[in-house]
Chains A and B, each alone.
Chain A
């Protein structure tokens, strides 16, 4: 029998990844925090019944996708007492300060490209799994992700390229 790990370990292993996915899809603010919380609460609820050989990372990304949709819908249903509803401040400090340009570049991508990039590059889902979540074919998901990455590489510009070069040098040492 395969033993199921304590859920604490699931949070430790995948918490940062799920937060990146939520932020890429929803933006770096409280909506992403809410989607993260709803994702792990739903995962905790279902965890005892999860098959022991399940791919936990893919399972979490799939839940995060649905929770991000829920959060977006809930926000759209909210009454609008003022002309512009400001982003609520994050409750967990000042997130993502190190890469504001990159987060902004991700945010600026068209919806389909942004989700394909988030689920494949940040969530580690293969393209057929991305296609299952978003509809369409695996080839289309792959194209959307490739378009998104090309766009990011262009708008993120020099700073990102330098960071990449440093990372490559670091990997080579």
Chain B
């Protein structure tokens, strides 16, 4: 082997190990997130929080909270969808989610019965968005059937469409699709799994 080739092998193995610690890169990442926010280039900020129903991903545009996702949905897949549908300018940037995170924490501790954060409903449209806009009118600890919701939003025949509006709710927990049940009182479906739906209902009934 030539001198140049052995040198090249040495260079690759030694230089590629030059120390750059995870903490250093994390610090620079956080600085980048702050600069991107300040310059209006952070189209989607997200954070991940622990809750009694598992880890939740919270994402917000500059307009408001745009997505709450359960871990079972796959956080990677959720972020890819946000990149495709909203913008790939996405960074983990907890600052923008501070108020939402606090209110969700208060909700799970029983100290909050309604959310007061700006919402961005840009991920849904038409009838589904109309249903999602209505859902916060169902009060804490109350429930309605898919059929009742269909009647109230003005399309009594659209029971199944109400079901799919709830199933595709981009903001579970905050937009309370968990308060919508089947007419016989059974749970129906839930994006976070039936265990999570039951846990939220139990939390609200105990309060």
Contacts and interface: CB of A to CB of B under 8 A. Distances in A.
Do A and B come from the same complex?
Answer: yes
Interface of A: 3-9, 11, 15-16, 19-20, 23-24, 33, 36-37, 40-41, 44-45, 47-48, 91-93, 95-99, 102-103, 117, 121-122, 146, 149-150, 152-153, 156, 160-161, 163-164, 167-168
Interface residues of B, number: 41
A164 B14 contact: yes
Contacts of A99: 17-19
Contacts of A37: 28, 31-32, 35
A19 B21 CA distance: 10
Query: Which of B8, B17, B19 gathers the greatest number of chain A CB atoms within 10 Å?
Result: B19
A122 B88 contact: no
Contact of B29 (A11, A45, A93, A103): A11
Interface of B: 3-4, 7-8, 10-21, 23-25, 27-29, 31-32, 35-36, 39, 41, 44, 46, 79-80, 82-84, 87-92
A150 B32 contact: no
27 contacts: A3-B80, A4-B83, A5-B88, A8-B90, A9-B79, A15-B25, A16-B20, A23-B20, A33-B28, A37-B32, A37-B35, A40-B32, A41-B32, A44-B41, A44-B91, A48-B87, A91-B27, A91-B31, A95-B21, A95-B24, A98-B19, A99-B17, A102-B14, A146-B8, A164-B10, A167-B13, A167-B17
B28 A36 contact: yes
B28 A6 contact: no
Given A6-B88, A47-B88, A149 B39 contact: no
Contacts of B28: 15, 19, 33, 36-37, 40, 92
A52 to B, nearest CB: 10
A45 B35 CA distance: 11
Q: Which secondary structure dominates where chain B touches chain A?
A: helix
Given A19-B25, A98-B19, A150 B91 contact: no
Contacts of A160: 10, 14
Nearest to B25: A15
Contacts of A150: 3, 7
A153 B27 CA distance: 31
B88 A149 contact: no
A169 to B, nearest CB: 11
A6 B14 contact: no
A79 to B, nearest CB: 25
A92 B88 CA distance: 27
Contacts of A44: 32, 36, 41, 89, 91
B13 A96 contact: no
B14 A41 contact: no
B10 A6 contact: no
Contacts of B13: 164, 167-168
A122 B16 contact: yes
